Amino acid sequence: MKEEQRNEIKVGLTVIAGLLVLLFGFSVFKNWSIGKDQYELRMHFPQSSGLQRGDQVSVNGVRCGEVADVRLENGGVLVTALIESDVVVHQDAVPVIQMLELMGGKKIDIRQSSSGAPADAGFVLRGRVDPDIAGALGVLGQAEGDITSITAQTDSLLRSLNAVVGDKALISSVKETVANLHAITGDLRGYVSRNDDKLDRITGNLLRLTDRADTLLADLQPRIGTGIDKAETVLGNADSLVTDVRSLLAEIRESRGLLHTALHDTTLVRRMDAMLVKLDSLSSIIINGEFRTRVSLF
């Protein structure tokens, strides 16, 4: 009887030890945490890209949680992750869905700096998805038509270039143009070498002319300033004269003297005109009578 109890105790201890080893293995290889506090962190992505519950979540490359829920929301995917309580995720952090292995699997890597306000329970981080092999193949499939078009255009361009390069007349013209340019360059070099002294004299004359012009401007500057002052004085006097004339005209308009009456009284003007006509007639009679008297005397 005692032997049987001992065997049962041994079996029980063996089972308990096996369970402990199993739990230890899961905790090491699956990053299970027993007795650790966790909190929920919500993240929004444009798509899940194959992310599933239980996939690992890391912060700056260090694993510290796992995906708890994945569901559709607001035209994208809302992911809820369980993060260890001793890990602080900031509000400016950027979660990124990445490939876990080359053959498959996904993970979330949260990239953040060392500063920033912590993300509370109601805060939602905005994340993005890194392209994987499947995404790259999809992009290539979408770009297949463009690649075909680019290939056709490149082939057409190469044919046109071959046609241009193979045109003997064009090549001959290019060679002739290059030869002419070479000849012109040689002529210019020879002209410069033959007229080197003349060019030096011309340069020296230009420098002397520039110096003289500077000296002349320096000499004329006081005179120009004096002339400008005199011109300003004349303009000021003219402005004063115009002001006086305007004042005189205003006084004439506003006064009631003889000049104002003569300018504005039409009756007086007519009388003066009639008087002038009579004076002209009288002077004509006097002149004619005097002329006749002198003629009769002779």
Angstrom CA distances, 104 to 50, 76, 107, 154, 167, stand at: 9, 22, 10, 37, 56
Confidence bin at 258 (pLDDT 50/70/90):
low
Give the residue among 120, 51, 54, 56 at the shortest CA–CA distance from 90: 120
- Cα gap 65→41, rounded to integer Å: 10
Residue 44 has a pLDDT of 95
Give the residue among 272, 273, 276, 294 at the shortest CA–CA distance from 284: 276
Alpha helices in 110-195 (DSSP H): 133-142, 144-165, 168-194
Q: What is the mean pLDDT of residues 148-155?
A: 82
| Helix, strand or coil, per DSSP, at residue 98 | strand
Residue 77 has a pLDDT of 94
Rg of the Cα atoms in the chain: 56
Q: Where are the domains of the chain?
A: 36-130, 131-166, 168-254, 255-288
Residue 193 has a pLDDT of 81
Q: How many CA atoms lie within 13 A of 245 on its CB side?
A: 6
Of the given ranges (42-46, 157-161, 286-290), which has the lowest mean pLDDT? 286-290
Q: What is the mean pLDDT of residues 73-93?
A: 91
70 by Cβ neighbours in 10 Å (0-12 / 13-18 / 19+) ranks as middle
Q: What is the mean pLDDT of residues 44-58?
A: 91
Q: What is the mean pLDDT of residues 89-104?
A: 86
User: Is the separation of the CB atoms in 72 and 58 below 8 Å?
Assistant: no
Residue 128 has a pLDDT of 92
Give the residue among 133, 68, 78, 77 at the shortest CA–CA distance from 104: 133
- Cα gap 59→78, rounded to integer Å: 18
- Cα gap 135→206, rounded to integer Å: 72
Tokens matching residue 44? 């929004």
157 by Cβ neighbours in 10 Å (0-12 / 13-18 / 19+) ranks as exposed
Condensed to tens digits (0 to 9), the pLDDT of residues 264-281 reads: 667 766 777 777 777 777
| Strand duo 62-73 + 128-129: pairing | unpaired
pLDDT reading at 241 higher than 90: no
Condensed to tens digits (0 to 9), the pLDDT of residues 9-27 reads: 777 778 788 888 777 665 6
